[in-house]
Structures are given as structure tokens and as C-alpha cells.
């Protein structure tokens, strides 16, 4: 079976590609390498076809989607902060690019497309946990663009018969997440500073909380969404761990794992950031059989091992709780 993974050289995408390749799938990756890195696919020589291209390029996307039975659409311009700095680019890639990928998947006769959405679509509503029946209220252009992609995915399921499943990821972390990016997520940013014996910088008071989700859990959800029955088609569902951790608790946990005691430095909150986040994951459990495998502390240990240059240990088997290059 041919599987296309857009954004497959990125953080989540490369972890998914490795899982798919290990299962024997014929994997094609489409990535423009603007945030993804070819070295994320190292060691997969011959088992993965990399096409370097932009998801806004209809011809390039059609080439990558040809004969694909299953499409995982993970390519995006990430980061709330980036979207506030350049909302037009965020819209063009995340909304317009998603429409291009959906059209290519439909034209190629793909059976299903799994779309990577975001918990940011819920906005800053005080209700916890966040569940799929809640009204959505995006605070940032990034969140709005992800919600637009969901709407297009649902419309293609209803209008064209292309099965689509939207997964709302909650604060994913783990190996291959770039700590050096200007828009790095909080865990690699904190971990990299602590490993360098520097104080992590917290935007706000540190009492804000997140449902941190280790990448192996997200990869599992993607695979399950690709295999699930027709009841999942046209649906959006949360993919998180189902517990929340404050940023102060995160710093304390990282210090404990590293054997350090470095206090964070606090600065002003950033615009567009959500105060608290927690996923209700019962819909994903019901429709695709999702249950998280790796807890936050264990995932942090594996992430620190990878950042420090060591090999991340194997993930547990039981639930953790109830190249072709474009000319330039």
C-alpha cells in the first residue's frame, strides 16, 4: 500500500514515517524542508521516497499523491507566534495548502486522508477538559487556519466521498523536535536550556497548564485513524494524554530528571497563547481505539536522552493510564 505523508521530514511526520516504513508500507514523503530536515529520515534509505516540494504547488502534490491509498497531511507552518508575525503566509500554507492536498487525494482516488489539526482551535475557553462538542473560538491566525483545514476536510468527506479524519493534537513533544527554532515548542526549549545550565524562560506566571502528549501517542493515533472504520470519516477528535501539567511543574520535572535545580526566569505573556489546555479523549477512544501509551514523565526522559545524544528507549506496549528533489 502506498502512503503519502506531507510534512514527513518534520518532527511528528518523521516519527510517523519511521513507524509506517517499519510496518512495510510504501511511503512517499512530500516536504519543502523549510522546517523539516532530511536528516530526520536518516537510516530509511530505499524504503522512503522523498519529494521536495511545496503543498501549495498543485502539480508537485499531484505527483506525490499518485496511486496513494492513504494520505497523512501533516505539512503546515507551525507556531502561534509565527502566525501573528505573518498571518497571510500561515493562511496560504495551512488553509490553501490543505485544500490543494485534499484535491490531489481525491483526484488520485485515495481512500482516506488523516489531517493534523490542533487543540488551538478551542481558543481560551475556561471549560476543561476540551471536548469536541464545544464551540470553537480560535485566538490566533494559526488556530484559524487549522480550523479552516478541518472544515475543508469535512466538506470533502461529505461532497466527494473522500474519507477524512481530523486529529486535534495537544502539545506534542519528543525526539526530532527542533529546540533551536525561533518558534520552538516549550519542552525542547526548556530542556535545551537546562541541558546548557541556563534558566528556562517562562512567558507568564508559569501556572498555565498544557496537556503534553508524547509523540509516540500521536503516531499511534495517526495509524489508528488511517485504519479505523467508516464511522470516523468526517469527524474531528482530540489526541492528547488526558492530564495537564503546569509550566512550573514541567520545569520541576525536567530538573528532577536531570538532577539539576535551575529556577525559571519569568517574562510577559505572549499574545495568542491559551491559558489552560486539557483533552477529553473519549471520542478518539470510541471511534479509532486510541489510548495513550507513554506518560509525560517517561516521554520527557526519552526526549532528554535524544537531546543529549543518546538513543531513546523503546516505548511500552501497554497504555500509560486509564529522495527526489525539486529544482530551485
Residues known to be catalytic: 142
Q: Which of 219, 182, 212, 214 is nearest to 77 (CA)?
A: 182
Q: Which residues make Cβ contacts (< 8 Å) with residue 201, sequence separation at least 6?
A: 189, 193, 264, 265, 266, 267
Q: How far apart are the C-alpha atoms of 43 and 47, rounded to whole Å? A: 9
With H, G, I as helix, E, B as strand and everything else as coil, classify residue 5: strand
With 0-12 / 13-18 / 19 or more C-beta atoms within 10 angstroms meaning exposed / middle / buried, residue 205 is: exposed
**Alpha-helix runs per DSSP H in 58-182:** 58-65, 80-85, 87-91, 97-108, 141-160
Q: Which of 188, 193, 195, 190 is nearest to 206 (CA)?
A: 190
Q: How far apart are the C-alpha atoms of 250 and 189, rounded to whole Å? A: 12
Amino acid at each position: 500500500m502506498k502512503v503519502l505523508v506531507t510534512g514527513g521530514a518534520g518532527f511528528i511526520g518523521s516519527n510517523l514515517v519511521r513507524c509506517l516504513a517499519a510496518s512495510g508500507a510504501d511511503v512517499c514523503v512530500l516536504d519543502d524542508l523549510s522546517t523539516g530536515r532530511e536528516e530526520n529520515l536518516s537510516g530509511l534509505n530505499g524504503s522512503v521516497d522523498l519529494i521536495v516540494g511545496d503543498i501549495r504547488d498543485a502539480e508537485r502534490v499531484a505527483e506525490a499523491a499518485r496511486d496513494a491509498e492513504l494520505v497523512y497531511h501533516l505539512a503546515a507552518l507551525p507556531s502561534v507566534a509565527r502566525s501573528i508575525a505573518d498571518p497571510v503566509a500561515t493562511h496560504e500554507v495551512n488553509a490553501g495548502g490543505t485544500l490543494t492536498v485534499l484535491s490531489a487525494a481525491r483526484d488520485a482516488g485515495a481512500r482516506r486522508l488523516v489531517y493534523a489539526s490542533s487543540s488551538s482551535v478551542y481558543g481560551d475557553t475556561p471549560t476543561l477538559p476540551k471536548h469536541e462538542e464545544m464551540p470553537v473560538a480560535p485566538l490566533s491566525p494559526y488556530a484559524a487556519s487549522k480550523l479552516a483545514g478541518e472544515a475543508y476536510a469535512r466538506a470533502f468527506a461529505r461532497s466527494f466521498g473522500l474519507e477524512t479524519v481530523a486529529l486535534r493534537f495537544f502539545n506534542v513533544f519528543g525526539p526530532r523536535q527542533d529546540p533551536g527554532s525561533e518558534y520552538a515548542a516549550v519542552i525542547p526549549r526548556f530542556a535545551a536550556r537546562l541541558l546548557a545550565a541556563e534558566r528556562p524562560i517562562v512567558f507568564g506566571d508559569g501556572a498555565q497548564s498544557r496537556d503534553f502528549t508524547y509523540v509516540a501517542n500521536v503516531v499511534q493515533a495517526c495509524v489508528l485513524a488511517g485504519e479505523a472504520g467508516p464511522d470516523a470519516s468526517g469527524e474531528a477528535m482530540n489526541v492528547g494524554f488526558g492530564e495537564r501539567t503546569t509550566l512550573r511543574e514541567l520545569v520541576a520535572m525536567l530538573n528532577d530528571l536531570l538532577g539539576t535545580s535551575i529556577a525559571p526566569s519569568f517574562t510577559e505573556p505572549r499574545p495568542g497563547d491559551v491559558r489552560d489546555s486539557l483533552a477529553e479523549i473519549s471520542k478518539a477512544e470510541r471511534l479509532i481505539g486510541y489510548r495513550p501509551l507513554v506518560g509525560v514523565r517517561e516521554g520527557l526522559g526519552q526526549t532528554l536522552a535524544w537531546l543529549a545524544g543518546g538513543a531513546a528507549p523503546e516505548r511500552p506496549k501497554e497504555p500509560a493510564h486509564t529522495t527526489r528533489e525539486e529544482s530551485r
